[in-house]
Chain A
Amino acid sequence: MQASAKPEFSVNITTNLTTPASRETSAALPMRMTISKLNFFYGPKQILFDINMGIADKRVTALIGPSGCGKSTLLRILNRMHETVATSRLDGEVLLDGQNIMAQDVTALRRRVGMVFQRPNPFPKSIFDNVAYGARINGFKGSLADTVEKSLRHAALWDEVKDHLHKSAYELSGGQQQRLCIARALAVEPEVLLMDEPCSALDPISTAKIEELMVELKNLTTIAIVTHNMQQAARVSDFTAFLLTGQIIEFSPTPQLFTTPSDPRTEAYITGRFG
């Protein structure tokens, strides 16, 4: 809410400078995921070139870049959603807690690496059943009601829906639906949460709520977010990778990338000269 109350032009790129994360460098932090020498193809077309980066534990890592730069593809590789395209091919290594994700059971991996999509995609079920879905299919034995309440609280949605948990998820507003999807993802307690432009279909107030949420969720999980809204990356993330035509141009702590970019292309992009 706070962010939306501010005038549009004072978007606070500098606030992160005061947080502890601003003084950290990625090298000093434990990594939840590491990507090394990653090359990715759709059929004969190469989409990603020699990607090397890490996703720091309990931090928000943002991927920015113009449309078509491969940032969403990179995000989807992290829980192997790229495999839904039959012609995709991948070289290189992606590690989760030191283990190659390609060698693991894909369903087990996706329980550990959750995902929130560009547009809210609740299932045609009740609010309760949506959040309980992940727990149910994984044969969860504990109290579903507790899990649902906890997840909805983490997603800052509990107070709005607690009296009608059994209504259709489609009766919620777009922003509420997206927070429901976040709650649904949190319910299986993922180690990493991937967010693919989670606010691109939402209004500014809903966007502000979700951004606020991301900052809070850092205590709970590790977040990687794709956005083509640079201000959003500046507001919520600790580290930012700037991608251009399938390559990482720059990967640094967010305040550094936005204030003293080391590559002229990064500077050109963040100052709005292209993209």
Chain B
Amino acid sequence: MTARLRWRKFVSNFMLAMTGLCALVSVLVLFFILGYLLFNGGTSINWDFFTKLPKPVGEVGGGMANAIVGSGKILLLASLFGVPIGFLGGIYLAEFSGKGMAWVVRYAADLLNGVPSIVIGIFAYGLVVLPFKHFSALAGAFALGIMMIPITLRSTEEFLKGVPRMLREGAMALGASKSKTIVTVIVPAAYRGIMTAILLALARVAGETAPLLFTAFGNRFESHGWSQPTATLPVMIYTYAVSPYDDWHRQAWAAGLVLLGLVLIINILARTILSRGIAVPRS
């Protein structure tokens, strides 16, 4: 009996130690990446990085001002394209669709979410780049926008469905029509969750490289308008990291740090939105 008890205690302690260890490892990986990036990027980053254009091969120095602007432009356009489609589709899915239709759309959205990003890049290449006959910010934004649709759609649906039924009934009992109830009560009640999800979707596509490789392509100069090849941070990191030049490697690290900072800022923004305004208490 006591031997058995001792064995059980041993198994318990052993498993406890294992789970703790694994939790520690997962955190350590993140901190290791962060630390490495901060060390390498931090030593290479300077003001020029944000303000100067890339220097020609062989010259030391220069920056990635064009890529920072390019990433911003493409993310903005991608959001303008992907968020409304996902948001309105999510409203339809949560509020209006029948069971069969909802199942099809939901399943398709989940599949789209699982499509490898490089495949979406090829799709955008075929649909936008080939007809226009050149790479463009538009094509890159199209690819990233497509990636934002399923995330926005599904999270809008989930957050709308999470709005307590009694809030809907309260609005309806005051003579609000269904569409009025959605606009004045349900969406405002779910707004913070939806906003957070959209920002996290944005943070996710901000780091995508593959769909931009043959859509926005890249550019060593400033690109005006939406129809020129455009430099972006992830593609710059890729190009600079595989190059044989030490200075470019350093700049790639700096770009990685800037990209991480951008994602961090978006995350903080999302959390700020979550903590402000009136939350619906969980019933």
Is B164 on the interface with A (CB-CB < 8 A)? yes
Contact string against A for B residues 247-283, beta-carbon threshold 8 Å, 1 for contact and 0 otherwise:
0000000000000000000000000000001111101
Contact string against B for A residues 179-210, beta-carbon threshold 8 Å, 1 for contact and 0 otherwise:
00100110010000000000000000000000
Given contacts A119-B166, A125-B278, A133-B184, is CB(A111)–CB(B174) below 8 Å? yes
Q: Is the CB of A107 within 8 A of B167?
A: no
- In the bound complex, how far is the Cα of B176 from the Cα of A13, in angstroms? 39
Contact string against A for B residues 182-203, beta-carbon threshold 8 Å, 1 for contact and 0 otherwise:
0011001100000000000000
Q: Is the CB of B174 within 8 A of A137?
A: yes
Is A123 on the interface with B (CB-CB < 8 A)? yes
Is A138 on the interface with B (CB-CB < 8 A)? yes
Q: Is the CB of B180 within 8 A of A137?
A: yes
Q: Is the CB of B175 within 8 A of A137?
A: yes
A residues less than 8 Å from B175 (CB atoms): 107-111, 134, 137-138, 188
Q: Is the CB of A121 within 8 A of B170?
A: yes
- In the bound complex, how far is the Cα of B168 from the Cα of A81, in angstroms? 11
Q: Is the CB of A124 within 8 A of B280?
A: yes
Q: Is the CB of A188 within 8 A of B166?
A: no
Is A114 on the interface with B (CB-CB < 8 A)? yes
Is A158 on the interface with B (CB-CB < 8 A)? no
Min distance, Cβ A262 to any Cβ of chain B, angstroms: 34
Interface residues of A in 59-113 (CB under 8 A from B): 79, 81, 84, 107-111
- In the bound complex, how far is the Cα of B175 from the Cα of A168, in angstroms? 23
- In the bound complex, how far is the Cα of B188 from the Cα of A122, in angstroms? 13
B residues less than 8 Å from A115 (CB atoms): 169, 173
- In the bound complex, how far is the Cα of B283 from the Cα of A258, in angstroms? 36
Residue of B nearest to A113 (CB): B173
Is B25 on the interface with A (CB-CB < 8 A)? no
Among A122, A123, A138, the most chain B Cβ lie within 10 Å of the Cβ of A123
A residues less than 8 Å from B239 (CB atoms): none
Given contacts A81-B169, A133-B184, A170-B281, is CB(A123)–CB(B176) below 8 Å? no
Among A107, A108, A124, the most chain B Cβ lie within 10 Å of the Cβ of A124
Min distance, Cβ B106 to any Cβ of chain A, angstroms: 20
Across the interface, A110 reaches (CB within 8 A) one of B167, B174, B188, B189, namely B174
Is B172 on the interface with A (CB-CB < 8 A)? yes
Q: Is the CB of A119 within 8 A of B283?
A: yes
Is A49 on the interface with B (CB-CB < 8 A)? no
Across the interface, B278 reaches (CB within 8 A) one of A81, A108, A133, A170, namely A170
- In the bound complex, how far is the Cα of B181 from the Cα of A121, in angstroms? 14
Min distance, Cβ A43 to any Cβ of chain B, angstroms: 16
A residues less than 8 Å from B173 (CB atoms): 79, 81, 110, 114-115, 117, 185
- In the bound complex, how far is the Cα of B169 from the Cα of A250, in angstroms? 30
Q: Is the CB of A114 within 8 A of B174?
A: yes
A residues less than 8 Å from B280 (CB atoms): 124
- In the bound complex, how far is the Cα of B195 from the Cα of A87, in angstroms? 35
Min distance, Cβ A185 to any Cβ of chain B, angstroms: 7
Is B171 on the interface with A (CB-CB < 8 A)? yes
Interface residues of B in 231-254 (CB under 8 A from A): none
Q: Is the CB of A117 within 8 A of B180?
A: no
Interface residues of A in 154-171 (CB under 8 A from B): 168-170
Given contacts A117-B166, A123-B185, A125-B188, is CB(A133)–CB(B279) below 8 Å? no
Q: Is the CB of A121 within 8 A of B164?
A: yes
Min distance, Cβ B186 to any Cβ of chain A, angstroms: 10
- In the bound complex, how far is the Cα of B118 from the Cα of A199, in angstroms? 59
- In the bound complex, how far is the Cα of B176 from the Cα of A138, in angstroms? 8
A residues less than 8 Å from B97 (CB atoms): none
- In the bound complex, how far is the Cα of B184 from the Cα of A181, in angstroms? 17
A residues less than 8 Å from B170 (CB atoms): 117, 121-123, 181, 184
Q: Is the CB of B174 within 8 A of A133?
A: yes
Across the interface, B177 reaches (CB within 8 A) one of A107, A109, A136, namely A107
User: Interface on B for A, CB 8 Å cutoff?
Assistant: 164, 166-167, 169-177, 180, 184-185, 188-189, 277-281, 283
User: Interface on A for B, CB 8 Å cutoff?
Assistant: 79, 81, 84, 107-111, 114-115, 117, 119, 121-126, 133-134, 136-138, 168-170, 181, 184-185, 188
A-B contact pairs, 18 of them (CB 8 A): A109-B175, A114-B173, A121-B169, A122-B170, A123-B167, A123-B170, A123-B189, A124-B189, A124-B278, A124-B279, A125-B188, A133-B174, A137-B175, A138-B175, A168-B278, A170-B281, A184-B170, A188-B174
Please give 11 more A-B residue pairs, beta carbons under 8 A apart, in addition to A123-B188, A124-B189, A137-B175: A79-B173, A81-B172, A114-B173, A123-B167, A124-B167, A124-B279, A133-B171, A137-B174, A170-B281, A184-B174, A185-B174
